[in-house]
Structure 1
Amino acid sequence: MEELLDRKSWNDIFRGYTIYDCSINRAEGFGFIAVEEKDDRNVLPKIRFITMSINRPLDKRFGVVESPNYDFCTIACSVNPPEYVAVDIGSQVFSASPLRMGGEKNIDQVIDMKTYRGEVGIINKVVRAAGQIYALGNYRKIYRRIGVDQWVELGKEGKGVPVPKDVETGKTYATSLGFVDMSAFSANDMYAVGGKGDVWRFDGTSWHDCSLPTNAPLSTVCCAGDGLVYISELNGSVWAGRADQWKRIAEADIAWGHQPVDSVWFNQRLYLGAQEGLWTVDRNRKRLVPLSACPYT
């Protein structure tokens, strides 16, 4: 079997960088965000946007663009058109596709991103849901990508997520509101999570409150192949259910800074990607455990 990465490619592309996020477009296609490893915190680290097509020869396998101007960037890919798109916390956009590697207009330059207090919103994460790319903002704002330099805020289509009246009138901050992650069974069955137990389900027309019975901050959501929705708290504890029926299936107490940041259903199991590796659920002990400690591996 041909190696995926040789020493020269490692030294030229990945050495001195940490992979911060990854998106999988197809079995042979991957998009990465790599962040420069550095001790100086006064200057933003450089970011490398990397695409990898493992069905190509090694000398043509990678596309790399470097930039120092992106901050807390995440990446996702869409199905139609097939493209990688990265967005940072300040709504800067980078198209990281093999046929188009370069920056685009900021989301706040093409649509109004002002929040209920008149401030420009931030982007917590960019995700793929039902084959499309969405950018998740504070104050329950969700932005859908509709093309190059084109985004729409769901509220402008009459499909925004409601907010409490005191937030809408600017009387209070929305520290308890999402969103930081979103997943979907289909375009008519999507879940968005964040804040303190803040969970909402979209039925294709409107959003419904499905809040968890917890005040813990939420971090990931996965619409799984077994028909259940799995939601993780910031400390790694996992809930499972659907609509307004939820049950905590695993306890955890992962320290802040090491907590899960992504979740995925693969080969009939839930996996959580964390700062310190992979975790999964030990259903017998009802605990989240490192993958190496799972009795089913």
Structure 2
Amino acid sequence: MNPFLDEKRWTEVFSDFEIVDLAIQEKGILQMCARKKTPLHEASLLFDSQIPTRIISLFTGRPTGDNCGYQELEGMAYPVVGVARAPFPRPSGLVASKNRDGDVWPRGNGNGPLEHIAPGKSPFPEKLKCIGSVTYSVGAGRAVYKRVEVGKWVPFQDGFPTVEVTTGQGFRDLDAFSPSDMYAVGGHGDVWHYDGARWKQMGFPSNVQLATVTCAGDGNVYISGEGGSLWMGEKSTWKSIYHGTSSILWNDVLWFQNRLWLSSDYQFRQWDGKELIPVEHEGKTVSIWGHMDVFDGLLAIASPQHVKSFDGQAWTNLVSPFAA
């Protein structure tokens, strides 16, 4: 079977870069952010914004040789990738920078111009989350912004008190059952719910660092945190369902095929209702980890050098290094 990405295009786009984030724009378009491989001794002499960055679009419905494109970006510090979807004007990939203005570069159906989430207010986006056709930026200090049109982001913060920013405040993730039933989490046990009018702080049984929130298809809300631990519940009622001992947080925890899927910088797991188990397909472990997204019946996951997708029936190897 021929590889999805041919060697020439892989060499041009991926050979000197590492994938740091991934988002599904639609079932046939994956958006990725990649950064130039930089030895630690060289990186230590640079500002993070000086490391070359690319936004890469992978088109799964196009033939080999014409299924991948990219654009070079400058000045992107600790970038994250997201998407804007139809019926929003100009569906595209988005790369956001953790800087004072929250710079965002859109690519797709025309590129740019550069957007700013909150000029001068240091929104520092931890994640870009597209729910329906609306894209949100969530960042430290309970910074939540909503993209309402091309080039325009507005604060989505009704209900948050005006207080001095501390490390105990969120956010790192946001999810929703509907526009009037949303959750945002982060900081140290900082959990908030939006009821369609205002954000309200919820009670949480721990002050550990929180990483992700998932409004799942089974009607429950799942929160992950320090150690890779998991809680399940809603509003201010939560119970611990898994106590982890990992040294890092989960990057993404998403609902797919009636099950919770979890990915970190070295693990890829499912929650079967009782325990975390390795992801397997046809009796074999799916060997990948990293950053993950789910949309329109597709799950995609990217490690620094590999990208795989799963449509519920079969896994597809989209990006893999070619032997030297």
TM-score range, shorter chain: 0.7 to 0.9
Structure 2, unmatched stretches of 5+, are 286-324
Contact 2:5 2:67 in 1 (8 A): no
Opposite residue 135 of structure 1, the aligned amino acid is S
Higher deviation after alignment, 79-88 or 241-250? 79-88
Change in Cα spacing, 1:136 to 1:145, as seen in structure 2 (3 Å) is: same
What's the CA shift string for 1:164-200, capped at 9, x where partnerless?
A: xxx62x4xx4211111100111111111000111111
2:270 to 273, 280, 284: 280
Equivalent residue for 1:117? none
Opposite residue 276 of structure 1, the aligned amino acid is Y
Equivalent residue for 1:96? 107
Structure 1 Cα separation of the partners of residues 27 and 56 of structure 2: 16
- Tell me the C-alpha RMSD between the 2 structures: 2.3
Structure 2 Cα separation of the partners of residues 296 and 237 of structure 1: 25
* Matched ranges for 1:168-179 at <5 A: 168=163, 170=164, 173-179=165-171
* Matched ranges for 1:15-30 at <5 A: 15-30=15-30
1:195 equivalenced with 2:195 (yes/no) = no
Opposite residue 117 of structure 2, the aligned amino acid is I
Opposite residue 22 of structure 1, the aligned amino acid is L
Opposite residue 116 of structure 2, the aligned amino acid is N
Change in Cα spacing, 1:92 to 1:73, as seen in structure 2 (3 Å) is: same
Return the offset for 1:48: 0.9
Equivalent residue for 1:87? 96
Equivalent residue for 1:11? 11
* Matched ranges for 1:133-172 at <5 A: 133-155=135-157, 160-163=158-161, 168=163, 170=164
What's the CA shift string for 1:227-260, capped at 9, x where partnerless?
A: 111110032101111122211111111113xx31
Structure 2 Cα separation of the partners of residues 61 and 190 of structure 1: 36
Structure 1 Cα separation of the partners of residues 196 and 20 of structure 2: 32
In the comparison of the two structures, how many residue pairs are matched? 273
Change in Cα spacing, 1:58 to 1:216, as seen in structure 2 (3 Å) is: same
Structure 1, unmatched stretches of 5+, are 115-119
Structure 1 Cα separation of the partners of residues 111 and 63 of structure 2: 20
Equivalent residue for 1:70? 76
Change in Cα spacing, 1:86 to 1:204, as seen in structure 2 (3 Å) is: same
Structure 1 Cα separation of the partners of residues 234 and 149 of structure 2: 32
Equivalent residue for 1:209? 201
What's the CA shift string for 1:2-37, capped at 9, x where partnerless?
A: 642122221111112221111112221110001211
Give the alignment's TM-score, normalised by structure 1. 0.84
Equivalent residue for 1:60? 66
Higher relative contact order (CA 8 A, sep 6+): 2
Change in Cα spacing, 1:85 to 1:272, as seen in structure 2 (3 Å) is: same
SS in 2 for 1:102: coil
Structure 1 Cα separation of the partners of residues 110 and 203 of structure 2: 40
SS in 2 for 1:8: helix
